[in-house]
């Protein structure tokens, strides 16, 4: 670890990092009318911190209504609405709540993820924090905890590390271990703002894991985090240079992306600013399409040539192949292994993207839940399962999704959208239009990107990781497991609603 990085390393418990907006989104609205006499009774009563009053100020503060449990409190002794001596408080459902979210990320999941990113743990237990409303896949799987634990495990002792290089025939590449069983997904320079990129990288450094540059080149702002950055070699080869390949410990080939399988990356002209164009060695303002596929790869042997090419430049680099999930994904995965990669990364069809045709997002290639099982079993049958690290992505939203993916047979996961939700993405799906993300997360617009500060971004993601880390350790302890590696392929730890009685 370089000294520069040591200096910059963030704490894994950054504390409470509140929303950057004036009005936090919430399920309920607690309204304090002008009748309030500032007695502070509500602040005394509320155990959830909705009302706050400080001695130095004679008024009670505006209610933090996103912490409110709503009508659930009605029976409690501390129900502020009834207890207010001036009758100044009222409670109603926030109409925004109903207009928020979609099937994959319902309002509850967004609110819960924001809660975790703010506090580093789940404080408002009223929100569904584990599953979405897609009625399939992860949302129909449940954890099947044993009635009696075979051995008592302290959550603090659970080993959460993930080994990224398992090849016994690879004596040159070091055994890289990361502290959490997930790493950050690729978001290219150009699709995301540089604050977002650095925030992700700082979170990765704090948790000793990785983040990925995406296909838009390796911007200088990431240099301090070299050891925690994956550089991507995608079909456009934007910004891929010998120097960038040699900078890092981990290189990813993007053969396909789950959200738009069979199609190349797509950066609309508006987002191709002067800085982005310089990095990508392109003309500013033009739309940049990555070709599909790699026109130098039409066989596994060609793919091996690619891997050899990287290894010649950087012999110690871990190499990952990111592939989508067609019907023969199992064969592709095994082929990737034989071509010499350390990590096989399968990206399911419901994954995130900055811009993709709706038809591709919904219809092309299979969801990750099916693909994990298929690839895991096939690698096992081939006798090479323990030689390769299998990473799943494309629709991993929560700590529970990670646990389910590992229990189905993956070694670890890649997360992308959740990190953006931690930065208060509301999934309005306009990342690509006009000046880019209106909330400043995925925008290269010089004005919009000022909406986010780097420290805030890093701390929010670190907090989300903290919450997941603790949740997964608690789950593993409940299963009586001492390490996350024990969970792999343990489908007996899961039940499926369609098949359970």
Range 403-442, binding other proteins (CB under 8 A) = 417, 425-435, 437-439, 442
Q: What is the CA radius of gyration of the chain?
A: 23
CB of 155 to other proteins, least distance (A): 27
CA-based torsion, 308, 310, 314, 319: positive or negative:
negative
Q: Give how far the C-alpha of residue 432 lies from the chain's centroid of Cα atoms, to the nearest Å.
A: 19
Task: Say if CB 404 and CB 494 are below 8 A apart.
Answer: yes
- The answer to whether 478 contacts other proteins (rule: CB under 8 A) is no
Cα torsion for 384, 248, 462, 489, to the nearest 10°? 0
- The answer to whether 104 contacts other proteins (rule: CB under 8 A) is yes
Q: Which range in 43-51, 82-90, 93-101, 225-233 contacts other proteins by CB under 8 A?
A: 93-101
Site for other proteins in 140-179 (CB under 8 A): 140
* Tokens standing for residue 456: 């805030």
By C-beta, is 8 or 427 nearer to other proteins? 427
CA-based torsion, 326, 328, 333, 339: positive or negative:
negative
CB of 358 to other proteins, least distance (A): 4
Task: Say if CB 498 and CB 140 are below 8 A apart.
Answer: yes
The H or E element that residue 266 is part of is: strand 266-267
Work out which of 255, 456, 465, 479 binds other proteins, going by CB under 8 A: 255
- The residue with tokens 């070709």 is 291
- The answer to whether 34 contacts other proteins (rule: CB under 8 A) is no
Site for other proteins in 370-399 (CB under 8 A): 370, 373-374, 394-395
Site for other proteins in 320-339 (CB under 8 A): 323-324, 326-329, 331-332, 335-336
By C-beta, is 115 or 248 nearer to other proteins? 115
CB of 231 to other proteins, least distance (A): 20
Q: Which range in 78-86, 241-249, 343-351, 479-487 contacts other proteins by CB under 8 A?
A: 343-351
For other proteins, how many residues bind (rule: CB under 8 A)? 99
- The answer to whether 94 contacts other proteins (rule: CB under 8 A) is yes
* Tokens standing for residue 494: 């899961």
- The answer to whether 491 contacts other proteins (rule: CB under 8 A) is yes
* Tokens standing for residue 88: 């100044």
Report the distance separating Cα 297 and Cα 268, nearest Å: 26
- The answer to whether 256 contacts other proteins (rule: CB under 8 A) is yes
- The answer to whether 181 contacts other proteins (rule: CB under 8 A) is no
Report the distance separating Cα 417 and Cα 398, nearest Å: 10
Report the distance separating Cα 61 and Cα 335, nearest Å: 61
By C-beta, is 178 or 391 nearer to other proteins? 391
3-state class (DSSP) for residue 231: strand
The H or E element that residue 143 is part of is: strand 141-143
- The answer to whether 57 contacts other proteins (rule: CB under 8 A) is no
Work out which of 54, 103, 145, 309 binds other proteins, going by CB under 8 A: 103
Site for other proteins in 188-247 (CB under 8 A): none
Report the distance separating Cα 106 and Cα 101, nearest Å: 4
* Tokens standing for residue 193: 């703002």
Site for other proteins in 268-307 (CB under 8 A): 289, 291-293, 297-300, 302-303
* Tokens standing for residue 182: 């997930």
**H helices of 231-328, where?**
242-247, 274-280, 300-313
Strand partners, 304: none
Q: Which range in 214-222, 278-286, 345-353, 453-461 contacts other proteins by CB under 8 A?
A: 345-353
CB of 312 to other proteins, least distance (A): 21
- The answer to whether 14 contacts other proteins (rule: CB under 8 A) is no
CB of 202 to other proteins, least distance (A): 23
- The answer to whether 71 contacts other proteins (rule: CB under 8 A) is no
């Amino acid at each position: 670890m370089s000294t520069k990085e040591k200096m910059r390393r963030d704490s894994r418990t950054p504390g409470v990092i509140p929303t950057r907006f004036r009005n936090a989104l919430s399920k309920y609205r607690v309204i304090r009318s002008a009748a309030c006499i500032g007695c502070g009774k509500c602040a005394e009563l509320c155990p959830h911190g909705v009302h706050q009053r400080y001695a130095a100020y004679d008024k009670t503060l505006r209610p933090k209504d996103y912490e409110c449990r709503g009508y659930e409190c009605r029976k409690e002794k501390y129900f502020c609405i009834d207890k207010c001596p001036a009758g100044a408080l009222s409670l109603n459902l926030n109409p925004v709540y109903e207009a928020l979210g979609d099937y994959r990320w319902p309002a509850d999941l967004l609110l819960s993820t924001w809660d975790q990113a703010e506090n580093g743990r789940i404080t408002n237990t009223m929100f569904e924090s584990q599953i979405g409303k897609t009625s399939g896949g992860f949302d129909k799987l449940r954890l099947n905890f044993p009635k009696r634990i075979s051995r008592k495990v302290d959550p603090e002792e659970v080993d959460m590390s993930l080994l990224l290089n398992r090849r016994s025939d690879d004596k040159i590449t070091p055994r890289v271990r990361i502290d959490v069983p997930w790493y950050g997904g690729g978001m290219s320079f150009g699709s995301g703002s540089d604050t977002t990129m650095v925030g992700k990288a700082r979170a990765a450094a704090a948790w000793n894991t990785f983040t990925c540059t995406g296909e838009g080149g390796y911007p200088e702002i990431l240099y301090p985090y070299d050891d925690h950055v994956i550089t991507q070699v995608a079909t456009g080869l934007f910004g891929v240079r010998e120097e960038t390949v040699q900078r890092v410990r981990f290189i990813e080939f993007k053969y396909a992306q789950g959200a738009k399988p069979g199609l190349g990356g797509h950066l609309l002209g508006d987002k191709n600013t002067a800085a982005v164009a310089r990095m990508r060695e392109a003309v500013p303002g033009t739309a940049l399409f990555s070709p599909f596929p790699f026109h130098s790869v039409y066989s596994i042997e060609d793919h091996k040539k690619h891997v050899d090419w990287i290894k010649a430049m950087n012999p110690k680099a871990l190499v990952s192949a990111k592939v989508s999930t067609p019907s023969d994904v199992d064969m592709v995965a095994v082929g990737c292994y034989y071509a010499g990669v350390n990590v096989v990364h399968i990206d399911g069809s419901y994954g995130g993207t900055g811009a993709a045709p709706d038809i591709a997002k919904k219809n092309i290639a299979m969801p990750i839940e099916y693909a994990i099982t298929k690839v895991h079993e096939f690698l096992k049958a081939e006798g090479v399962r323990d030689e390769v690290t299998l990473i799943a992505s494309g629709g991993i939203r929560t700590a529970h999704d990670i646990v389910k993916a590992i229990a189905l047979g993956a070694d670890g996961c890649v997360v992308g959208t959740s990190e953006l939700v931690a930065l208060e993405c509301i999934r309005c799906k306009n990342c690509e239009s006009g000046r880019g993300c209106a909330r400043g997360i995925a925008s290269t617009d010089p004005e919009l990107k000022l909406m986010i500060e780097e420290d805030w971004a890093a701390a929010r993601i670190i907090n989300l990781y903290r919450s997941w880390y603790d949740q997964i350790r608690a789950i593993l302890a409940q299963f009586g497991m001492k390490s996350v590696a024990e969970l792999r392929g343990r489908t007996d730890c899961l039940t499926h609603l369609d098949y359970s009685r």
